[in-house]
């Protein structure tokens, strides 16, 4: 469910099923509460990078059109005779920060510089925050997006339905996806391709098509649609 739809930003409300239409007030409150947390995190990250404290917040204003959205996921238990394959394969998130609420295990992250996948244990009353590819672009690789996946919950949890409530925060559509100037980012080495900057809406469109091979011809086009984990 797009943030711009729920908050009626720059577009008319899209047709939605009754559970969504009857919960718009709740969804609006959920989005604004998430934004409060996100702006606190963006301020802390900007300050840690020795940038002006408002730098990242100004690229993620709630009132401006963006690709931010809410996703509610229901994953029933896998049949007993199903091979143990990831329900959601290894990937990095497209946007800046992701806030995840879930009560069962199943989320795994790949430890840096290893082949070890480890579970992220849900903690009651807490959310899981994941850093995405847009922040990698903004910081020229100083911040990194980690590969993660979703597998069958461990142990006795494997027999339960897994629910996840996710808020994906992405930069405003008109924001340029390139390295920021100043602070610690200025000390990052320049790389080939740094001058190729696209706006966030085009970046998201390309990333959404990134797993659809029929849209790409040749190795260069295909790699250009992949996440930052393929190049940094």
* pLDDT tens digits, one per residue of 105-145: 889 998 888 889 999 999 988 999 999 999 999 999 999 88
Encoding tokens for residue 62? 């709630």
Number of C-beta neighbours around residue 105 at 10 A: 19
Signed CA dihedral, 143, 67, 58, 53: sign only = negative
* pLDDT tens digits, one per residue of 53-67: 999 999 999 999 999
Which secondary-structure segment (H or E) carries 199?
A: strand 198-199
Q: Tell me which residue of 182, 167, 143, 175 sits closest to 53, measured CA to CA.
A: 182
The SS3 of residue 38 is helix
* pLDDT tens digits, one per residue of 162-202: 899 999 999 999 999 999 999 999 999 887 766 778 899 99
Residue 45's φ and ψ, nearest 5 degrees, are -65, -45
Encoding tokens for residue 43? 């301020």
What architecture is the 70-230 domain classified under in CATH? Sandwich (2.60)
Predicted local distance difference test score (pLDDT) of residue 216: 43
Encoding tokens for residue 36? 């409060």
User: What does the mean pLDDT of the chain come to?
Assistant: 85
Highest mean pLDDT: which of 39-53, 159-173, 216-230? 39-53
CA angle 49/52/55 to nearest 5° reads 85
Encoding tokens for residue 121? 């244990």
> What is the pLDDT averaged over residues 75-81?
75
Predicted local distance difference test score (pLDDT) of residue 82: 61
| More confident position, 188 or 215 | 188
| More confident position, 48 or 195 | 48
pTM of the model: 0.85
């Amino acid at each position: 469910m797009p943030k711009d739809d729920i908050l009626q930003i720059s577009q008319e409300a899209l047709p939605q099923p009754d559970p969504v239409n009857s919960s718009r007030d709740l969804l609006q409150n959920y989005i604004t509460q998430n934004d409060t947390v996100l702006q606190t995190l963006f301020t802390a990250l900007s300050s840690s990078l020795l940038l002006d404290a408002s730098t990242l917040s100004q690229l993620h204003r709630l009132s401006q059109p963006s690709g931010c959205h809410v996703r509610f996921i229901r994953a029933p238990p896998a049949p007993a005779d199903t091979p143990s394959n990831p329900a959601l394969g290894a990937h990095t998130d497209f946007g800046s920060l992701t806030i995840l609420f879930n009560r069962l295990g199943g989320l795994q992250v790949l430890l840096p510089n290893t082949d070890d996948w480890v579970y992220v244990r849900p903690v009651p009353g807490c959310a899981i925050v994941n850093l995405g590819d847009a922040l990698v672009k903004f910081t020229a690789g100083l911040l990194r997006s980690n590969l993660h996946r979703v597998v069958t919950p461990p142990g006795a949890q494997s027999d339960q339905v897994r629910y996840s409530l996710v808020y994906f925060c992405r930069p405003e559509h008109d924001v340029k996806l390139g390295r920021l100037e100043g602070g610690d980012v200025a000390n990052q080495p320049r790389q080939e391709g740094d001058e190729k900057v696209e706006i966030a809406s085009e970046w998201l469109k390309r990333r959404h098509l990134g797993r659809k091979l029929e849209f790409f011809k040749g190795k260069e086009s295909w790699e250009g649609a992949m996440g930052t984990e393929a190049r940094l």
